[in-house]
């Protein structure tokens, strides 16, 4: 009876999501209705009554607004504009240097911002026009930046990783450390793609060297160093254990505001916009977390969580089969859902399975974020591609950008296979720092 209620609950959840009921509301309704049917009204009230407060009143979760604020200030104040120039100077002699510089700049921006959309937008706006002027094929240039944006959520800070850490009850700092390796590996794989294309297809990536005549090394360094110091302060404090995640986020946000003021990039508009977007993101995000906790309780009580875990056992799914299944599920979900919804709807089902299979939750967090980020660039719903279309729509159509991003998705798939085959790739840093 309970099992049936659980399975019907999951079906109702999918129906509500398809009707475009907000993800949070759909989970709350299914959890409340499901527990009511199984155990009566009082337990259902119990599930609803305490969860919102208990989930949100959390010191770990308070890192989210602080890192969001840091990222939005960096984005709106254009703090990292100098990164692209610095990378261009360094890579001026490399074939495909301009494209690689854009990927490097994305990685640098990722270290102050936890969102892949903001990374794609801010670097796309700067890099795409220059790349196209230099003769890059527009679909390739826009695709590279849509993909480069995903590094934003991989290299810490990462909002996805904080929420994962809270939900999976694992150390956010450890997941962050894993994120550094996977973020860097992603940047390396995209760099390899650009180098290969530059070597074989001069019609897509031109061989002409980067024009850096108007760049002066000293002024570039002067523009970049405050941000680099801020990054080192935030991560040095976080990874040495001197700051908790929240403290690192607050120091980062305060530092970003200070640098913006000193460099004359701060205005009331920039500040207000950054605070309001932080608020809007928190309001829409935390309520999904609340819904996911309720759904977890419901699935646990109904026995569905156990059933799925048992099924994985009964079919004798090994590590590789299970991972293949998970990759396929998230690649499909990523086509239709934004990453927070996809992550929080699935974790209640998945976490018990992972526990049963003794899978390292730090590793899985990093791996999951990588999978979700691939979803940001796959059609039909590829948020990063939409953002690039917004900032560079005059150069390429949506179809062009999706076409250009395909080769980077191929690189992502290779990296995902590597991560499955050699988990040490992402666990190296977390283990080293333990």
Partner 1 sequence: MPAIDIAMRRITGGLALLGAAGVILMLVHVTAYVVMRHFASAPIPATIEIVSYYYMIVIAFLPIAWAERRGDMITVDVFRHLMPQVVKRWVDILVALITCAAYVALTWTTWLVAMREFGARSFVISLNLALPIWPGYCALPAAFALAALVSLYRAANGALGREPLASRGGAAMGALE
Q: Contacts with partner 1 in 323-362 (CB under 8 A)?
A: 336-341
By the rule CB under 8 A, 16 interacts with partner 1: yes
Q: What angle do CA 18, 21, 26 make, to 5 degrees?
A: 95
By the rule CB under 8 A, 12 interacts with partner 1: no
Options 195, 254, 324, 418; binder of partner 1; rule CB under 8 A = 254
Report the alpha-carbon distance of residue 351 to residue 309 in Å, rounded.
9
By the rule CB under 8 A, 191 interacts with partner 1: no
Report the alpha-carbon distance of residue 124 to residue 275 in Å, rounded.
23
For residue 170 the two structure tokens come to 């694992």
Residue 156 C-beta: closest distance to partner 1, Å: 15
Options 5, 6, 10, 17; binder of partner 1; rule CB under 8 A = 17
Q: Which is nearer to partner 1, 120 or 220 (CB)?
A: 120
Report the alpha-carbon distance of residue 396 to residue 140 in Å, rounded.
10
Report the alpha-carbon distance of residue 350 to residue 342 in Å, rounded.
12
Residue 349 near residue 306 (C-beta atoms within 8 A):
no
Options 57, 93, 218, 358; binder of partner 1; rule CB under 8 A = 57
Size of the site for partner 1 (CB under 8 A): 72
Q: What mask, x for binding partner 1 by CB under 8 A, covers residues 388 to 407?
A: --------------------
Q: Which of residues 140-169 bind partner 1 (CB under 8 A)?
A: 153, 159
By the rule CB under 8 A, 34 interacts with partner 1: no
By the rule CB under 8 A, 106 interacts with partner 1: no
Options 278, 296, 346, 378; binder of partner 1; rule CB under 8 A = 278
Residue 363 near residue 423 (C-beta atoms within 8 A):
yes
Residue 141 near residue 159 (C-beta atoms within 8 A):
no
Options 59, 200, 225, 320; binder of partner 1; rule CB under 8 A = 59
Please choose, from the candidates 5, 9, 45, 2, the residue with its C-alpha nearest in 3D space to the C-alpha of residue 345: 9
First to last CA, the chain: 46
By the rule CB under 8 A, 371 interacts with partner 1: no
Q: Which of residues 169-188 bind partner 1 (CB under 8 A)?
A: none
**DSSP characters for 130-157?**
HHHHTT--HHHHHHHHHHHHGGGGTSSS
Q: Which is nearer to partner 1, 242 or 355 (CB)?
A: 242
Report the alpha-carbon distance of residue 171 to residue 161 in Å, rounded.
10
For residue 10 the two structure tokens come to 């999951």
By the rule CB under 8 A, 105 interacts with partner 1: no
By the rule CB under 8 A, 68 interacts with partner 1: yes
For residue 379 the two structure tokens come to 């059609």
Residue 376 C-beta: closest distance to partner 1, Å: 7
By the rule CB under 8 A, 121 interacts with partner 1: yes
Element (H, E) at 94: none
For 103, 163, 361, 428, the CA distances from 174, given in Å and listed in that order, are 25, 13, 10, 11
Given the rule CB under 8 A, which of 58-66, 128-136, 262-270, 322-330 is the region that contacts partner 1? 58-66
By the rule CB under 8 A, 247 interacts with partner 1: yes
Residue 310 C-beta: closest distance to partner 1, Å: 29
Given the rule CB under 8 A, which of 176-184, 239-247, 352-360, 411-419 is the region that contacts partner 1? 239-247
**DSSP characters for 385-421?**
HHHHHHHHTTT--HHHHHHHHHHHHHHHHHHHHHHHH
Report the alpha-carbon distance of residue 282 to residue 139 in Å, rounded.
34
Q: Which is nearer to partner 1, 119 or 181 (CB)?
A: 119
Options 79, 146, 155, 376; binder of partner 1; rule CB under 8 A = 376
Options 35, 38, 66, 110; binder of partner 1; rule CB under 8 A = 66
By the rule CB under 8 A, 279 interacts with partner 1: yes
């Amino acid at each position: 009876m309970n099992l049936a209620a659980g399975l019907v609950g999951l079906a109702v959840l999918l129906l509500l999501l398809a009707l475009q009921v907000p993800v949070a509301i759909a989970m709350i309704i299914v959890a409340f209705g499901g527990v009511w049917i199984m155990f009566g009204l009082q337990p259902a009230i119990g599930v609803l009554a305490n969860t919102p407060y208990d989930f949100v009143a959390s010191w770990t979760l308070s890192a989210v607004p602080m890192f969001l604020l840091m990222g939005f200030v960096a984005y709106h104040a254009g703090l990292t504009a100098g990164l692209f120039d610095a990378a261009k100077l360094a890579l001026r002699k490399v074939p495909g240097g301009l494209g690689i510089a854009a990927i490097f700049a994305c990685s640098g921006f990722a270290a102050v911002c936890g969102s892949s959309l903001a990374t794609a937008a801010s670097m796309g706006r700067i890099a795409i026009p220059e790349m196209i002027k230099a003769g890059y094929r527009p679909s390739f240039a826009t695709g590279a930046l849509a993909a480069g944006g995903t590094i934003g959520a991989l290299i810490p800070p990462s909002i996805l990783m904080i929420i994962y850490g809270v939900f999976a009850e694992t150390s956010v700092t450890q997941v962050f450390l894993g994120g550094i390796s996977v973020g860097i590996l992603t940047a390396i794989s995209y760099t390899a793609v650009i180098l290969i294309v530059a070597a074989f297809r001069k019609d897509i990536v031109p061989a002409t060297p980067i024009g850096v005549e108007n760049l002066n090394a000293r002024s570039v360094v002067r523009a970049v160093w405050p941000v680099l110091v801020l990054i080192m302060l935030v991560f040095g404090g976080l990874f040495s254990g001197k700051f908790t995640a929240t403290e690192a986020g607050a120091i980062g946000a305060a530092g970003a505001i200070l640098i913006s003021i000193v460099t004359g990039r701060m205005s009331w508009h920039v500040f207000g916009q950054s605070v309001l977007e932080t608020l809007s993101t928190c309001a829409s995000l935390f309520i999904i977390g609340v819904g996911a906790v309720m759904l977890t309780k419901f699935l646990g009580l109904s026995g569905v969580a156990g059933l799925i875990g048992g099924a994985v056992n009964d079919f004798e799914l090994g590590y590789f089969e299970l991972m293949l299944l998970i990759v396929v599920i998230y690649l499909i979900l990523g086509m239709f859902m934004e990453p927070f919804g996809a992550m929080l709807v699935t974790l209640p089902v998945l976490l018990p399975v992972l526990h049963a299979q003794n899978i390292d939750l730090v590793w899985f967090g990093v791996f999951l974020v990588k999978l979700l980020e691939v979803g940001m660039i796959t059609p039909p719903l590829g948020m990063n591609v939409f953002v690039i279309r917004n900032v560079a729509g005059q150069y390429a159509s949506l179809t062009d950008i999706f076409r250009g991003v395909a080769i980077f998705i191929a690189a992502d798939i290779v990296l995902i296979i590597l991560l499955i085959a050699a988990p040490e790739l992402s666990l190296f840093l977390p283990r080293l720092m333990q």
